[in-house]
Amino acid sequence: MMKLLAEDGIDPDIQAHYRLITSIKDTIGMHTHDFFELFLILKGSVAHIINGRRQLLQENTLVFIRDRDVHYYEQLSEGDCQFINLSFYREALDDLIAFLGDGFPRSRLFEPEMPPTILLTKTEKEYVRYRLDQLQFIPLEQKLVLKAEVRALLTDLFSRYIKGAEEPGNELAQPEWLLALCGEAKKKEHFTRGASALVELSGKSHAYLCRMFKQYKGTSPTKFINGLRLSYAENLLLNTDMEIMEISMEIGLDNLSYFYELFKRKHNLTPYRFRQCGRVNTP
């Protein structure tokens, strides 16, 4: 098995390396490394073999790879995959965690067997892609500027997305009925009704659904539904002028305080601040 070293491929003055991978054929076999990675799936899907388990990663998925993970990629019969990879020194992450302080859930990044993985909304994917792509426009000779921009980017992505990511389940091993249920739940007429819609659609008991979601999704039916609600709310905040109370009602939450609580738990921002920041940063 190969072990890739930061000193062989990452400029020590920048401490990071950006790469656009246009085909799974351009990746290497099973490997580990002494640095960290973030990668974002731009198009297609891929089988990701990580720490002895097999995942199906779809478009819009953001993954944080630790320096102890062992992984490689396999192309699926459905077609190829394109993704962005950002490799960076351990020092950059250590400084980030020190900056964010004790309130940052460091253990959530390193203790689980599987790396943090999050499925972004289309709007979130475009925002992350925009932030990553900006690294290409900084001249390589401006190393200190590029290093600072990488650290600002990591602070943004880890505080927005990675800290709240769940440890992924084995996507390819999920029962067909559960995959179908989760696909159906993404329809607005279902997720706005809450977790009770999952019980109704599946024909299973609530207790059984809880066990299956915990086993295969690493979460509860309620958290799964609330994740869909929040994703829809994020799009409304960034792409409409709807009042926040209207948005809360639109996603099936008539308790505005609960909407704020869920939103701040995910983003560490109020819906109003999220709208402001998103519109400022949208290209």
Predicted confidence (pLDDT) per residue in 79-136, tens digit = 899 999 999 999 999 999 999 888 888 888 888 888 888 888 888 888 999 999 999 8
Within the chain, all domains assigned CATH 1.10.10.60 are found at 174-281
pLDDT over threshold 90, residue 38: yes
**Six-digit token pair at 80?**
């190829």
Q: Residues 176-213: pLDDT tens digits?
A: 788 889 888 989 999 999 999 999 999 999 999 998 88
Mean pLDDT of the chain, nearest integer: 88
Task: Note the CATH number of domain 2-164.
Answer: 2.60.120.280
Q: Are strands 81-88 and 16-21 parallel, antiparallel or unpaired?
A: antiparallel
CA angle 98–115–218, rounded 5-degree value: 115
Position 165 pLDDT exceeds 90: no
Q: What is the pLDDT of residues 228-251, one digit of tens each?
A: 999 899 889 988 999 999 999 999
Helices 195-202/176-185 angle, 10° precision? 140
pLDDT by residue (tens digit) across 246-272? 999 999 999 999 999 999 988 888 999
pLDDT attached to residue 110 = 87
Tell me where in the chain the CATH 2.60.120.280 domain(s) lie. Answer: 2-164
Region 48-76 average pLDDT:
91
For the domain spanning 174-281, the CATH number is 1.10.10.60
| Predicted pLDDT at 283 | 46
Radius of gyration of the chain (CA): 19
For 139, residues 6+ apart whose C-beta sits below 8 A from its C-beta are none
Distances (CA, A) of 176 to 143, 215, 216, 248, 252: 49, 14, 12, 32, 27
